[in-house]
A = this chain, B = another copy of it.
Amino acid sequence: MSNRVVLAYSGGLDTSVAIPYLAKMTGGEVIAVSLDLGQGGEDMESVRQRALDCGAVESIVIDAKDEFANDYCLPTIKANGMYMKQYPLVSAISRPLIVKHLIKAAQEHGGTHVSHGCTGKGNDQVRFEVGFRALDPSLEIIAPARDYAWTRDKAIAFAEEINLPIEQSKKSPFSIDQNVWGRAVETGFLEDLWNPPTKDLYAYTEDPALGNAPDELIISFEGGKPVAIDGRPVTVLEAIEELNRRGGAQGVGRLDMVEDRLVGIKSREIYEAPGAMILIAAHEAMEDVTVERELGRYKRLIDARWSEEVYDGLWFGPLKRSLDAFIESTQEHVTGDIRIVLHAGRIVVNGRRSNHSLYDFNLATYDTGDTFDQTAAKGFVQLHGLSTQIANKRDREAQ
C-alpha cells in the first residue's frame, strides 16, 4: 500500500509547504483536510484550492461550525470550562474535532499517515496525537515541525527550491489560532512577562475604553443550553456569533495570562473570547439559581477537572466521558433567563428568573411571608459545630 498522508491543513505557509515536503519525506501522496470552525479570514474555497496547487491529491473542506458549536462549545458551556479559572479552552476543544475529521478522511481515502503542523513544545501536538491514537492507532503520525525540526525558514527555503506557488508574506510577529469560540495570540515581545499587551494584538474585541453605550441582553437557557437571546431563538452557533459581536463591541472577553502547559513549562498567552465568556458567565449565574448547594459545590470541582482533562488533550479519554455524564445529569433544570449588561469590558449579571428556580422567596425574605422555621436553627448550629467543639476541647486539654 502506498503512503497517503492526511494533513490538518490551515491554508497558511507552514502547512502549505508541508504538502510537498510530506510527499517527499514519505514518498507518497498528501490529502489536505481543512475545517471551517468560524475562524473567519479567507474563504474556505481558496484554502481548498491552495492545497491542490501545492500538490495535494485531495483537498477536503468541511463546514464544521455547527458541529463545533453543538458538540464542543456547548459541553464547555455546561462545564463552565475554564482552565486555571480563566481560559475557555479555545484551541483545546477544536483539536479533537479536527482529529475526528482527519481520521474519517483517512479511513475513507486510504490514508496511512496523519500529520499536523504543531511544534514539540505546545499543547496541540498532544491533543492531535492522543486523539489520533485513540480513534485509529493503525495510522502513523508525522509532525514535521517537531520530528524533522521543520521551521518557517526551512519552509520558505523549500518553497523557493521547488517553486511553490504561494506568496511568502513577511513573517507576522503573531502566532494566532482562532475559531468561533475565541482567539489565541502569542508573540515575541510578550515573552517578557512584564510587557503589557498592545492594541494591535486584538481582532475580536474593541478597546473596552471606547465608551460605547451599555448593551443589555437576556440569554435564555434550557437544560444548560443557550436557546434564545432577547427572546429570539438561536442555535448555539448563532448565540456565540451574536455574543462575539455584541461582546466584542464592548471590549468584553480579553485575557492576559501565564498558563501551565502540559509539557511542563509556563507560557504567556493572550486570548479574546467574548461569546465564550459571556455564555459561561450567564450559565454559571443560571446554575447558581437552579442547582442545589452540595451539587453546586461538587460540580465546581468536576468542572475544573473537566477543563484540565480537555486542556491536557484527553478529550477522548474515559475520565472525560464520565465527567460528561456527571455534568449532563446536573443540567436538567438549568433553565431560565439571565439578564446581562455588557459595558466597557465588563460582563454584569443583574437579573435571573426561572420556573426551575431553587430560590424560594418565602424562605429567603425577611419581610411578610417568611416561612423559614427559625427554631430549627438553634439545634442545627449546635450539631453542625459539635465535632469542632469536641476537637477544640481536646486540643486545649491535650496540651
Q: Which residues of A contact B (CB under 8 A)?
A: 84-85, 119-121, 125-126, 129-130, 133-135, 137, 143, 146-147, 149, 175, 186, 188, 191-197, 208-209, 211, 214, 254, 256-260, 262-268, 284-285, 288-289, 291-301, 304-305, 308-309, 312-314, 316-319, 321-326, 328-330, 333, 335, 339, 343-346, 348-353, 355-361, 363-367, 370, 372-395, 398
Q: Which residues of B contact A323 (CB under 8 A)?
A: 298, 326
Neighbouring B residues of A125 by C-beta, 8 Å: 377, 381
**Cβ A292 vs Cβ B319 within 8 A:** yes
13 pairs, CB–CB < 8 Å, chain A vs chain B: A120-B372, A126-B385, A130-B384, A130-B385, A175-B366, A195-B351, A209-B214, A211-B211, A291-B318, A313-B385, A316-B392, A344-B345, A355-B398
* CB proximity of A223 to chain B, nearest CB, Å: 11
Contacts A134-B385, A256-B349, A264-B383 given; indicate if A378 touches B295 (C-beta within 8 A): no
What is the CA–CA distance of A360 and B266 in the complex, to the nearest angstrom? 7
Which residues in B have their C-beta under 8 angstroms from that of A353? 193-194
Chain B residue numbers with a CB within 8 Å of A355 are 398
Q: Are the C-beta atoms of A263 and B380 separated by less than 8 Å? A: yes
B329–A358 CB distance below 8 A = no
From known contacts A330-B322, A361-B192, infer whether A378 and B376 are also in contact, taking CB-CB under 8 Å.
Answer: yes
Q: Is the CB of B344 within 8 A of A346?
A: yes
- Is there an interface contact between B318 and A377, defined as CB atoms closer than 8 Å? no
A203 CB to nearest chain B CB (Å): 18
Report A266 CB to chain B, min CB distance, Å.
4
A129: contacting residue among B191, B257, B293, B381, CB under 8 A: B381
